[in-house]
Structure 1
């Protein structure tokens, strides 16, 4: 399928604070179905410090994780959306995108990067880097406003779009796609791409640049550093290797301005705890009571591999002291059931 269709994309500098629920008021841009690297912008294929980019990014797949199938990568530019077809373009097309996905010169704006990063790493050897995760950014904005870190996970993309600060729109089509995926997990593998698939893939990225600019306006310097660090740690989260991520990009350093102003934040880290097979339930507890108590007892984020894996592991991200506290609380729950 070679035709470019069109969609509407909000351009942050011109959008002001108005809601985005009227597509007819928004600029129309083409959607390109990409099956060969030559169809992608040159500045994306060959990242350069002279041409730094900010793009919206997402992935779709069949059971998207290390063992699933990456089907589409969506790239949102201010003037176009590119749907990179990993099924028809095959491995060579995804590999052509590797320099951009690993580049420090291209900022990838994404909502919850963990599974996308895992799929790219284990299926194609790509170390996703320099992401702005809007899920993390939203949490940091709420922390700046004095709210506690969410204990039941981050905000969904649907709920983020519904927030008047970041769009104020209802993304009802997302529910429709979820129904299709439950009925047929191979939904994203079928070719040619249907109009529904094209529209759904584009919808997942077409608002990201608008959201990005709105969030940058709200984040202070300390939060911006935390956003960069946590984004790096989220990209690593499910990508466990044997060298403690020595071959991954280093964590961002604390800005000198924060150090000079005695505002230096505590170092943040990722910890991976091994849980004896069959014992994860002790950590979670009946109706989640144990894990809720653990989360209330620390300011770190606790993530489970779930049924997608990695199994029998708990991932903890946050300030070092809070991560160590979470580790102790989790081990305490396990020891309580052993003795």
Structure 2
């Protein structure tokens, strides 16, 4: 979330793909500027053998790679937080709250008793110009329709993300497999909903 907000803050479009490479973050001079060749070596080994991380005892390479994954995280966190302005920090709090709901939501009422999302701070209310309210929408995908929504090699879902200024998350690793989560300004979420529902219709 923070990475996407920094991209937007610096005048770049938010990434359409919600996957962010840890190695790329480390190599980015805005954050670390560190070449992590050993991690690339581990990736090659993982592609060659998907069971790479299951072997015991762990090799020295495995131990170093696992430790590095953790020891750089706090540094990256502080670098990112230092780049976020007040508006982006508020968006981070809101989107973080909404993202958490995606992970455990089974229906629209599952988070009815959750705390409300962080309110807009007074210092961001400047006349009629202030950030739009952001919401979470949960869409149920009928059996057999998820493939149509995602499209070949993800082409369909990427096109929808391109058309809407909203985060679109597919269930599965991020929640129930038969649901799609849309996070963003109300107008953009409603636009995404309409397009997504259109992809689910039988022709």
Q: Give the structure-2-normalised TM-score.
A: 0.83
Q: Which residue of 1 aligns with 2:95?
A: 230
1:165-314 equivalences under 5 Å are: 165-181=30-46, 183-185=49-51, 187=53, 194-241=59-106, 243-260=109-126, 262-306=128-172, 310-314=176-180
Cα distance in structure 1, aligned partners of 2:111 and 2:131: 22
1:1-339 equivalences under 5 Å are: 136-181=1-46, 183-185=49-51, 187=53, 194-241=59-106, 243-260=109-126, 262-306=128-172, 310-335=176-201, 338-339=202-203
Q: Deviations over 1:225-255 (max 9, x none)?
A: 1111112222232222454224544422211
SS at match of 2:11: coil
Moved over 6 A (4+): none
Structure 1 unmatched runs, 5+: 1-135
Structure 2 unmatched runs, 5+: none
Q: Give the structure-1-normalised TM-score.
A: 0.53
Aligned residues between the structures: 201
Q: Please say which of residues 157-166 and 301-310 is displaced more in the overlay.
A: 301-310
Question: CA RMSD, aligned part only?
Answer: 2.6
Contact 1:230 1:317 in 2 (8 A): yes
Going by fraction, where is helix more abundant, 1 or 2?
A: 2
Cα distance in structure 1, aligned partners of 2:56 and 2:114: 34
Cα distance in structure 1, aligned partners of 2:52 and 2:114: 31
Going by fraction, where is strand more abundant, 1 or 2?
A: 1
Q: Deviations over 1:7-49 (max 9, x none)?
A: xxxxxxxxxxxxxxxxxxxxxxxxxxxxxxxxxxxxxxxxxxx
**Greater relative CO, 1 or 2 (CA 8 Å, sep 6+):** 2
Cα distance in structure 2, aligned partners of 1:276 and 1:290: 17
